[in-house]
Chain A
Amino acid sequence: MTEALYTQLLDLACGAFLLAAVVVLWLRELTVVVRVLAVQGVALAAIPLLIGWYEDEAALLGISAGLALLRGGLLPYLLNRALTGPRDSEHRETRPLVNVAASLLTAALLTLLAYAVTRPLVALEATPATRALPVGFAVVLIGFFVLVTRRRAPSQVVGFLLLDNGITAIAFLAASGVPVIVELGVSFDVLLAVLVLHILTTRMRAAFGGTDLDELRELHD
């Protein structure tokens, strides 16, 4: 693979990765959001695949396959299962705290901020992978933004996964990935977190008949 092709493919993967995060903000139907998340998982898995291919590292290819399975398959599947509730209104993010237009505008601003903040990091070593670093950062911020502004518990899980996808992308882009054992541990953690959140969502629905997070107001002294 030539360097030009590598750069273009990597930028494509990162672009798809960031676009998926923005689309999550745009859509209201949660089943569709989960599908977008699966697409993002695949885009994320493409990053180590490309880096591994270009730098001839077999371990990264294995990690890429694992990531595709986990983030593109297993986690969206678990999320979809959490959405098999009785009522249709539960599956839509009807009233986010910040409306869609403003959310998209904020996403643009956050992306700008990510580019501004990561300038010194990019300046350290300007490889194609490092130049794509702000994308990971932007996805982290957008994920955090989803956590802050979306009401439904499944949306919160989506925000958490966006955040974690962003962190993983930063790890691959900045340092060609973390050691396999750490990657395994982190993936296992994410899987457990999603499972626990799944259980919590079910409990919440049983207790309040809905998954609106604003029902939980007891957390103060």
Chain B
Amino acid sequence: MSPIGAALGAASAAAGAGALAGLLLPLRVRPLAAGACTTAAGAAGVVAGVAALGGDSWSVRLPGLLPLAGTHLAVDALSGLFIAVAGAVVAAVAVYGIGYSGHGATGAGSRGVQALLPLFAWSLLLVPAAASVSTFLLLWELMALTSLLLVLAEHRLRAEVRGAGVWYAVMTHLGMVSVLAGLAWFAADAGGETFAALRAGADQLSPGVRGAVFVLVTAGFASKAGAVPLHAWLPRAHPEAPSHVSALMSAAMVNLGCYGIVRTGFDLLGGGPSWWWLAVLATGALSAVYGILQAAMSSDLKRLLAYSTTENMGLVLVGIGAAGLFADRGRPELAALALAAALLHLVNHSAFKALLFCAAGSVVHATGERDLDRLGGLRAKMPATAGLFALAALGAVALPPGNGFISEWLLLQSLIHGLQVPGVATAVVLPLAVAVIALSAGLAAAVFVKALGVGFFARPRSEEARRAREAGPFMLAGMGLLAACCVALAVAPGALGSGLDRAGTAAGLAGAPVLDDGTGVRLDAVSAKLVPVWVLAALTVALLAAVGVPRLLRRRRRRLRARLWDCGGGAPTPRMAYTATSFAEPLQRVFDDVLAPEQDVDVTHTRESVYLVERVRFQRRVPDRVEHRLYRPVLDWAERAGEAARRLAPGSVHRYLGYGFFGLVALLLVLAVGW
């Protein structure tokens, strides 16, 4: 038996044991036992994924496991990459989860959550391994359902959780319907439902059917990846889920949306015309800018991170779209580079976003607050968490020496060199895409400066923030594992080079674009080179020089302690400090037309005189405009239709029986006439 099969088998066994442990064991040992099993499952997933990235492949057919179609599993390098990423995230987050859910029998520590988490982790590992339409859809649905139930974990504590759950349930199932319709159509026309049969039959499809299948499938997968305008569930569900579940969803589950697009678009359909990929690219660009703008406006820490997920998935989609475009224009080496950049960004995003969500979870765990405007001063109370958040934020802002920088650099390289490709579309779209990436990177810097600066520095703005305590050892250990991944990806991304090549080859885009060059990245296709260690060393030297030289040159002075001059208005309180909202205000003014914020000033005068003001109330909301314009009308219409349909049910038994009778008679009449 190959190592992949053995490792996936071990992962399944561990996940099953974890689910049983979560269900049966008493509260005292439940999180530890279930968490340990989930960690083992994740580690086994890493083993399987790394073996597949190393060039191994595996497939199996289990005819008895599902009725009619049987179960088909196959792991190639592309699946292996996603399995490895999901496994690493699962393993680290499960360790974190032991500490996170160690208190209380409701919410994260409850029986249901502890039993579902291993199942969710298992579905994350197995979805990329599915090799037939029915197996894939079954695992996909298992993933959707387990994650939905996990999102609802804290529904007793907060009423908003239920609304988020409804949004998520509806959107994920609409996406599922779209994917199901697309794949079923594909399978019907290709004459088989295994992926091998789809690959073989893809050529016989008419162009119209191919396009329709791609649009249906991509719409479903893009909604799972949180791409605008199908993102509405994401900024709701991610903040309301328990933080370790948010980490799993944001760092492992949304990836599978991109996996679906790559798998069907490149591998099963074998590539397609430019308009497919231009659509993907446009969706990605829109998601990147819109996501990061909304993140900049958000003062809820976890909502901010959720919108940042939309942004990063947008960047990945830009890479995928560019890869498809180049492949269609006959430049496979550039296509392979763009796809490798997209996949590397996906890996990087998983590492830093899991860490960010875990750190945010520690903050929520310690203070019970997600509102940045009420946090602050956490650096002193939670130094380790603050440091880890800063490390992850460095990755997220795409500046050296963070890990996000390398993948965005690769993405930019591929887009800039893509300008050699002739054609009007590339000449217009690619520079725009470059601009979008630059804009989103700049805004991301502002977003994470806000999150880190307002949330962790300055003075505590609430009693809860003042009483914060450092996270427990399990939580720190889990975050430490993720931080190690971030650092490794930042320092030695070249180690992934051959694996990314194999993943690209498995997707049908052969080429050797990202060469393993010790620790660096060398791009043979465009003759560019980046060695992160040198970047890191140069930065360190520059930083030391910037901090050390003035200190050496400065004369030693006697320190004077005095009260801060307060203009005679009394000592400044934390309420006067810069908040997240005030930090975002200039950006909001710049993007006023895009964001369309709603402001509300409410002045109450005293009863004695209109010249004296008793109270001024100021309120500002930045609603999700896409949601407002796109979803609201549909929801309103559905509500009106529901109200109208309610009149069909007045309560009369005879009326209800009559519906059945007349329905039957009408059907029989149709049959009688039609025969």
| Contact (Cβ within 8 A) B669 A113 | yes
A182-221 interface bits toward B, Cβ cutoff 8 Å, 1 = contact, 0 = none? 0000000000000000000000000000000110111111
A218 CA to B563 CA in the complex, in Å?
73
Question: Given A148-B658, A214-B652, A219-B656, does the pair A117, B672 have CB atoms closer than 8 Å?
Answer: yes
| Contact (Cβ within 8 A) A117 B654 | no
A122-161 interface bits toward B, Cβ cutoff 8 Å, 1 = contact, 0 = none? 0000000000000000000100110111010000000000
Across the interface, name the chain A residue whose C-beta is closest to B649: A220
Q: Given A120-B675, A221-B649, 5 more contacts at CB 8 Å?
A: A144-B661, A145-B661, A147-B657, A214-B654, A219-B653
Give chain A residues whose Cβ lies under 8 Å from the Cβ of B653: 213-214, 216, 219
Q: List 28 A-B contacts (CB under 8 A).
A: A97-B654, A113-B665, A113-B668, A117-B668, A117-B672, A119-B675, A120-B675, A141-B664, A144-B657, A144-B660, A144-B661, A144-B664, A147-B661, A148-B654, A148-B661, A149-B654, A213-B653, A213-B654, A214-B653, A216-B651, A216-B653, A217-B650, A217-B651, A219-B649, A219-B651, A219-B653, A221-B646, A221-B649
Give chain B residues whose Cβ lies under 8 Å from the Cβ of A116: 672
Give chain B residues whose Cβ lies under 8 Å from the Cβ of A219: 649, 651, 653, 656
Q: Is B634 interfacial (CB-CB < 8 Å)?
A: no
* Most interface-central of A97, A144, A147, A148 (chain B CB within 10 A): A148
Q: Is B671 interfacial (CB-CB < 8 Å)?
A: yes
Give chain B residues whose Cβ lies under 8 Å from the Cβ of A144: 657, 660-661, 664
Q: Which 3 A-B residue pairings sit nearest by Cβ, starting from the closest?
A: A217-B651, A116-B672, A220-B651
Give chain B residues whose Cβ lies under 8 Å from the Cβ of A221: 646, 649
Interface magnitude class on chain A: 20 to 34
Task: List CB contacts (< 8 Å) of A74-88 with chain B.
Answer: none
Across the interface, name the chain A residue whose C-beta is closest to B671: A117
Interface magnitude class on chain B: 10 to 19
Kindly provide the distance from the CB of A125 to the nearest chain B CB, expressed in whole angstroms: 17
What DSSP secondary structure best describes chain B's contact surface?
A: helix
Kindly provide the distance from the CB of B77 to the nearest chain A CB, expressed in whole angstroms: 53
| Contact (Cβ within 8 A) A217 B672 | no
A144 CA to B667 CA in the complex, in Å?
15
Task: List CB contacts (< 8 Å) of B623-671 with chain A.
Answer: 646, 649-654, 656-658, 660-661, 664-665, 668-669, 671
Kindly provide the distance from the CB of A187 to the nearest chain B CB, expressed in whole angstroms: 24
* Most interface-central of B646, B650, B658, B672 (chain A CB within 10 A): B672
Kindly provide the distance from the CB of A4 to the nearest chain B CB, expressed in whole angstroms: 31
A219 CA to B648 CA in the complex, in Å?
12
| Contact (Cβ within 8 A) B657 A220 | no
A90-110 interface bits toward B, Cβ cutoff 8 Å, 1 = contact, 0 = none? 000000010000000000001
A218 CA to B650 CA in the complex, in Å?
8
Give chain B residues whose Cβ lies under 8 Å from the Cβ of A110: 665
A191 CA to B242 CA in the complex, in Å?
53
A147 CA to B660 CA in the complex, in Å?
11
A216 CA to B657 CA in the complex, in Å?
13
A88 CA to B646 CA in the complex, in Å?
38
Give chain B residues whose Cβ lies under 8 Å from the Cβ of A217: 650-652
Across the interface, name the chain A residue whose C-beta is closest to B675: A120
| Contact (Cβ within 8 A) A148 B657 | yes
Give chain B residues whose Cβ lies under 8 Å from the Cβ of A119: 672, 675
Across the interface, name the chain B residue whose C-beta is closest to A140: B664
Kindly provide the distance from the CB of B567 to the nearest chain A CB, expressed in whole angstroms: 62
Give chain B residues whose Cβ lies under 8 Å from the Cβ of A97: 654
Give chain B residues whose Cβ lies under 8 Å from the Cβ of A117: 668, 671-672
Kindly provide the distance from the CB of A162 to the nearest chain B CB, expressed in whole angstroms: 13
Give chain A residues whose Cβ lies under 8 Å from the Cβ of B656: 219
Kindly provide the distance from the CB of A147 to the nearest chain B CB, expressed in whole angstroms: 5
A12 CA to B661 CA in the complex, in Å?
28
Across the interface, name the chain B residue whose C-beta is closest to A97: B654
Give chain A residues whose Cβ lies under 8 Å from the Cβ of B675: 119-120
Give chain B residues whose Cβ lies under 8 Å from the Cβ of A220: 646, 649-651
Across the interface, name the chain B residue whose C-beta is closest to A112: B672
A149 CA to B655 CA in the complex, in Å?
9
Give chain B residues whose Cβ lies under 8 Å from the Cβ of A113: 665, 668-669, 672
A97 CA to B671 CA in the complex, in Å?
28
Kindly provide the distance from the CB of B645 to the nearest chain A CB, expressed in whole angstroms: 10
A116 CA to B667 CA in the complex, in Å?
13
A97 CA to B649 CA in the complex, in Å?
18
A221 CA to B668 CA in the complex, in Å?
30
A213 CA to B657 CA in the complex, in Å?
12
| Contact (Cβ within 8 A) B651 A218 | yes
Kindly provide the distance from the CB of A25 to the nearest chain B CB, expressed in whole angstroms: 14
Kindly provide the distance from the CB of A126 to the nearest chain B CB, expressed in whole angstroms: 17
| Contact (Cβ within 8 A) A141 B665 | yes
A149 CA to B653 CA in the complex, in Å?
10
Give chain A residues whose Cβ lies under 8 Å from the Cβ of B660: 144
Give chain A residues whose Cβ lies under 8 Å from the Cβ of B658: 148
A145 CA to B664 CA in the complex, in Å?
11
A107 CA to B259 CA in the complex, in Å?
61
Kindly provide the distance from the CB of A207 to the nearest chain B CB, expressed in whole angstroms: 15
A217 CA to B671 CA in the complex, in Å?
34
Across the interface, name the chain B residue whose C-beta is closest to A109: B665
Across the interface, name the chain B residue whose C-beta is closest to A116: B672
* Most interface-central of B657, B669, B671 (chain A CB within 10 A): B657
A141 CA to B666 CA in the complex, in Å?
12
Give chain B residues whose Cβ lies under 8 Å from the Cβ of A214: 652-654
Give chain B residues whose Cβ lies under 8 Å from the Cβ of A216: 651, 653
Across the interface, name the chain A residue whose C-beta is closest to B672: A116
Give chain B residues whose Cβ lies under 8 Å from the Cβ of A213: 653-654
Give chain A residues whose Cβ lies under 8 Å from the Cβ of B671: 117
B262-294 interface bits toward A, Cβ cutoff 8 Å, 1 = contact, 0 = none? 000000000000000000000000000000000
A211 CA to B661 CA in the complex, in Å?
22
Give chain A residues whose Cβ lies under 8 Å from the Cβ of B646: 220-221
A213 CA to B654 CA in the complex, in Å?
8
Kindly provide the distance from the CB of B638 to the nearest chain A CB, expressed in whole angstroms: 16
A117 CA to B674 CA in the complex, in Å?
10
Kindly provide the distance from the CB of B427 to the nearest chain A CB, expressed in whole angstroms: 58
A216 CA to B650 CA in the complex, in Å?
11
Across the interface, name the chain B residue whose C-beta is closest to A119: B675
Give chain A residues whose Cβ lies under 8 Å from the Cβ of B668: 113, 117
Kindly provide the distance from the CB of A220 to the nearest chain B CB, expressed in whole angstroms: 4
A133 CA to B650 CA in the complex, in Å?
37
A145 CA to B660 CA in the complex, in Å?
10
Give chain A residues whose Cβ lies under 8 Å from the Cβ of B664: 141, 144
Across the interface, name the chain B residue whose C-beta is closest to A150: B654
Give chain B residues whose Cβ lies under 8 Å from the Cβ of A151: 654
Across the interface, name the chain A residue whose C-beta is closest to B669: A113
A145 CA to B665 CA in the complex, in Å?
10
